[in-house]
């Protein structure tokens, strides 16, 4: 099972930059998108169907904002929309699909960069999500929880940890939450294979950050410990450029 998470920062925009051509290279069996910023009827989704993907959407109620989607060549047994929290669901932030004994959760964690009110909501969302996932884990112990977490976990995950110590996405409380989340029985799959620095999945549009690789690793594919023995490969595909993020990849053995 080959899985990708990718914040496309507007799917229609990404499609004008070669996203569909990239899909034609068969990058993965399951591609989880965040920040699609569109409803299904506003996108030429037939392009995905022609390549063998089923598509499942959970857009935000607000047009042009947030939203998640799953493109998959493996037919899911069940698809669940939202996590039962009204504001999160209105913003289209959680989409779950079950494939046999594996449940995959595609999540777009809120950003707190727009101000104190959204930062406060981010902490609320993180607490709600932690409880949602850990409740589900009792029933479905083999979880893949992926998406744009909007948190760089450790200094190795950000180009300048000192100057960003007070930046949303690298605040102590956010990093502590991610430590707690992983400690509740999850594996950071990328770090199982790669310990080297300068491995980022998002770059600011400012100051030529991407060309200078001044980025943050804020996109993750985390799995519960029962899946650890099935990990085969993990990558960050920095060369793929349809967004200010890039795809993150995981391969699981059967």
Residues tagged active-site: 148
Angle at 85 between CA 75 and CA 181, to 5 degrees: 75
Q: How many CB atoms lie within 10 A of CB 156?
A: 14
């Amino acid at each position: 099972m080959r899985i990708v998470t990718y914040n496309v920062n507007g799917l229609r925009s990404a499609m004008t930059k070669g996203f569909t051509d990239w899909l034609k290279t068969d990058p993965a069996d399951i591609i989880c998108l965040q920040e699609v910023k569109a409803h299904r009827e506003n996108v030429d989704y037939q392009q995905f169907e022609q390549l063998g993907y089923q598509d499942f959407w959970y857009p935000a109620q607000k047009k042009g904002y947030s939203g998640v989607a799953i493109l998959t060549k493996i037919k899911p047994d069940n698809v669940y929309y939202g996590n039962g929290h009204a504001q999160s669901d209105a913003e289209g932030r959680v989409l779950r699909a079950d494939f046999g004994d594996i449940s995959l959760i595609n999540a777009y964690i809120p950003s707190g960069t727009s101000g104190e009110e959204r930062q406060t909501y981010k902490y609320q969302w993180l607490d709600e999500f932690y409880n949602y996932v850990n409740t589900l884990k009792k029933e479905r112990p083999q979880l893949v929880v992926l998406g744009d977490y909007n948190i760089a976990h450790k200094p190795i995950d950000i180009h300048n940890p000192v100057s960003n110590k007070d930046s949303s996405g690298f605040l102590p409380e956010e990093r502590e939450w991610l430590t707690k989340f992983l400690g509740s029985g999850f594996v950071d799959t990328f770090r199982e294979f790669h310990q080297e620095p300068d491995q980022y999945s998002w770059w600011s549009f400012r100051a030529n950050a991407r060309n200078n690789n001044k980025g943050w690793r804020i996109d993750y594919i985390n799995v519960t410990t029962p899946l650890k023995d099935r990990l085969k490969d993990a990558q960050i595909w920095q060369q793929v450029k349809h967004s200010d993020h890039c795809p993150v990849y995981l391969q699981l053995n059967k």
